[in-house]
Amino acid sequence: MTRTVFRGGTLFDAVSKSATVADIAVEDGRIAAVGTGLDGDTEVDCAGRGILPGLFDCHVHLTMSSTDLFHIAQEPFSVQFYEGALNMAKTLACGITTVRDAAGADHGMRVAQERGMIPGPRMRVSLNMLSQTGGHGDPWWPSTCVMDLLPAHPGRPPVVVDGPEQIRHKIRELVRAGADVIKVATSGGLVSSGAGPRIAHFRDDEIAMMVSEASAAGLHVMAHANADGAKAAVRNGVRSIEHGNHLDDETLAMMAERGTWLVPTLSAGLGLRRAIEGGEQYPDHVLAKIEESGGSSVARAVRAGVPIAMGTDTPLIPHGENLTELRLLVDEGLTPAQALHAATLSAAELMGLDAELGSLEPGKRADLVLVDGDPLDIDDLSGRIRTVYQDGHAVHRRA
């Protein structure tokens, strides 16, 4: 059994949110020791480089590279899975070694990654997003056309539901199909045809059923939610609020008290603005919703004690540009160390993986990211990545 020592790097300690020079010994895919003067069979010289735990993105859509419905509707059905493999590689290359796919990827993609058939981040998949009739995930458009960003297939069940009993049955279908987490839209959205993000969707008895039925299967619920839709989701026990714009003080206080995570996906707004400036076409009523959006709650959430986990909502910002989110979090008032914590240990805790991942501690899996320079310098972090490791094996090297 080979013991490899990563020598003399500046380690980001996600527990203390600080950085210090030390060695890491890796054996049999796990961190065996952290300290100075460690011995091993082989050595990786990390002088002048930072070492981060493998990073997390808690909100991605790997099978999508665009939200252009007209384009997607003309693609052969199976192209999405090859596109997903390409996006998995792009995500891994920027140091993201674990993701939570918020609709799109199916159980087979996760299995393929676990078996080493395709390179990519470790995955937790939701398959698709529960939506009420006329909600954010309903593919019906005013023309009476059905244009679905995520068309149903055997591994990705259709998810438009109304009432607790329909919800109970649908969650059981999702669990049967391999979901690791249940995704719901308790608010309207921007790029769909229906109501905007300030409008609440689903009633308390419906959301309570989602949480109850998911819990019975050992799963959590993540909620696309803003404003009053987020308040209802928190009140009924969801694990995380995705996007979370326009959250009032009462909602933030409940989140802090209950330990409900906020996954802000600030990159999504930036990506939409860039797309519009670049000439991407959206219907007028969608553009109107985008113009009225905003209202980030991050700074107030931090002050209220709400835990933050990093998520990007790729492809609204392109896959591979995930670490843009770190700078946006800092712009909202987090320190670089707090932003990195949101992308490491906090994200691992949200996903229930903190016993195995999220920090550089003995016994944990050896997911490491080697970067040039100071690991606390988040500017151009993607461009400074040298090598990405999963279980101690190099899975990406910068050319």
- 155 within 8 A of 178, measured Cβ to Cβ: yes
Q: Where are the alpha helices (DSSP H) in 56-163?
A: 69-73, 79-93, 107-114
| Residues 383 and 275 placed together within one structural domain of the fold | no
- Per-residue pLDDT reduced to its tens digit, 226-236: 999 999 999 99
For the chain, what is the largest distance between any 2 Cα atoms, rounded to a whole number of angstroms? Answer: 69
pTM, entire model: 0.95
Residue 143: what pLDDT? 73
| Residues 268 and 311 placed together within one structural domain of the fold | yes
- 244 within 8 A of 311, measured Cβ to Cβ: no
How far, in Å, CA of 344 to CA of 338, rounded?
A: 10
| Residues 338 and 367 placed together within one structural domain of the fold | no
Residue 151: what pLDDT? 87
What CATH number corresponds to the domain at position 368?
2.30.40.10
Residue 197: what pLDDT? 78
Question: For residue 86, is it left (φ>0), alpha (ψ between -120 and 50) or beta?
Answer: alpha
How far, in Å, CA of 269 to CA of 296, rounded?
A: 10
Residues of the chain short of pLDDT 50, as ranges, are none
Provide the domain count of the chain.
2
Would you state the structure tokens that stand for residue 308, as one six-digit string?
Answer: 């933050």
| Residues 84 and 185 placed together within one structural domain of the fold | yes
User: CB neighbours of 393 closer than 8 A, spacing ≥ 6?
Assistant: 29
| Residues 49 and 61 placed together within one structural domain of the fold | no
- Count other Cβ atoms within 10 Å, centred on residue 45: 11
Which domain, by its residues, includes 150? 55-350
| Residues 172 and 321 placed together within one structural domain of the fold | yes
How far, in Å, CA of 118 to CA of 374, rounded?
A: 31
| Residues 125 and 239 placed together within one structural domain of the fold | yes
| Residues 89 and 169 placed together within one structural domain of the fold | yes
| Residues 17 and 141 placed together within one structural domain of the fold | no
| Residues 363 and 328 placed together within one structural domain of the fold | no
What CATH number corresponds to the domain at position 170?
3.20.20.140
Q: In Å, what is the CA distance from 209 to each residue of 234, 239, 258, 339?
A: 13, 14, 18, 33
| Residues 304 and 198 placed together within one structural domain of the fold | yes
| Residues 241 and 327 placed together within one structural domain of the fold | yes
Residue 34: what pLDDT? 98
Residue 283: what pLDDT? 65
- Per-residue pLDDT reduced to its tens digit, 178-194: 999 999 999 987 666 66
